[in-house]
Structures are given as structure tokens and as C-alpha cells.
Amino acid sequence: MVSAPAGDHDPVRLRRARIARLVRGAKRVGYLALGVAVVAFGVAAATDFPAALVDVSVTALVAACLVLPVPIVVGYGIRAAEREDSQQGYG
């Protein structure tokens, strides 16, 4: 995504880089939760759906649905801003 060069002191670019790091972390958490949900569901399906695995699957899926939309949208916004800056000759 965005990485501010070491000598860059533009506060907008620095803030954008900080937000981009947070977005990457939130995406990792969200996709990890989605992966846990898929694996838990697969194991639950193979073992006659024990309640604990169903609970893990549903909880992880809900967590992914709550976490993922915001960083995905913000990530698109950051990329669009960077693209616009480069087209305008700012970076």
C-alpha cells in the first residue's frame, strides 16, 4: 500500500501511511477470522457438527463480517488518494 519515504515530512502522507498500516493489520485479523470460520465449519461438517465447533465457526464468521468491511473500504480510499496524488504530480 502506502509507505512514506524516510525523508517525507508531509503530514497528509505520514497520516495516510499510518492509516494504511492499521488497515493492513485489520485486514489480517478479519481474514484470519474468516479462515478460522471456514476451517471450523469444515471440521464440524466432518464430525457431525459438535456444538463447540459450530459456535467457533459462527463467532469467527460474525467477527470477520464486523471487522473486514471497514479496512477494505478505507484501503480502497487510500489507494485512490495515492493514485490521484501521483496523477497530479504530488508523489
C-alpha cell at 91: 508523489
- Cα–Cα distance, 62 to 11 (Å, whole number): 36
Would you give per-residue pLDDT tens digits along the chain (91 residues)? 556 555 578 899 999 999 999 999 999 999 999 999 999 999 999 999 999 999 999 999 999 999 999 999 999 999 999 999 889 887 6
- Cα–Cα distance, 70 to 87 (Å, whole number): 26
How does DSSP classify residue 68?
Answer: S
Query: Does the CA dihedral 80-21-18-72 come out positive or negative?
Result: positive
pTM comes to 0.83
